Structure 1
């Protein structure tokens, strides 16, 4: 490749560098102005049988819910989904309630029903309880929120932090002991809150019957 460039006459070499500079410039422009999740809409002005909201936009802006907030709440919100109950064990890398408040913010932005969350509980994020119930009143789903590390399996906030560091997302594969330990913690969280879970499932069934 070096020999090929050296064999070029000056005018060819100059033209080649200009082409490369133009290409780099275009790439940088696309990166700078690119919106994450933007994709061409193959239905744009093509399919008259498609709903207007699917065929009227030249581009879609899509986002994986896992990337957006680490938990796929968006897929379960809104009248069309008509969900009564969401059981949400939170095993994400952030502090307690982070995914929940991100979901609340998203729901407010897109005008989707979401249960009320008292911001006072955010004071408990460093050492949360093992189960919270955010009850839906009308169209909002009830959310049973269960932090992985909590007051039942950690003696204080320092131990919660230590556990989060031990089972960090960004680390090498877990060994057998870590996997078994984590599974036991998860099973205990569900077992400890079996009564609450059954109660909320019952309430959701009665709520559905009324609908």
Structure 2
């Protein structure tokens, strides 16, 4: 049976590395499947569209027409993985929409599996937003992302009770390097001959995290 994953990368806080995670995931899926469609819902943050313009479309959820246009694309079971880079300013509106139209249930009816990747912070906004998602999203598809470059210590206890994907912190000079427009993670793997470099290993570990996530979540999703 054909099943299509929809990855929703989100955070209620700015500057937590959400677009970085969306970039990594989009490039991993493109490498693995040969195709991916990413949606950029950002107005005030670094934009996924700037980094991956050939596979990314913008989406607007501030009016009914924009919401319906996006939802129609997301519930389409066409076998093409989707990635949403959801800006913090649109977080509440997006999940309010999901609740109002029953998006998660509707997606499952179409054999589309939504996977929520919540990029954590240690402020009250992040804690409150995560608790809201716990009420709305089945636990098997609510995944916490711990970006160790941003959150150096421990996450809130409630976040650690579920599944957590941990992305190791890079040195500042490498973090600045990977923020450059035009940098391709897959391109780096292909062209950097020395596989022992820190960045090479970091990208490979990141891709392995996504591979393991897909293997563990997709076959087990039943609601």
Report if TM-score (shorter chain) is over 0.5. Answer: no
What's the TM-score once normalised by structure 1's chain length? Answer: 0.32
- More RCO (CA 8 Å, sep 6+): 2
Higher-Rg member (1/2): 1
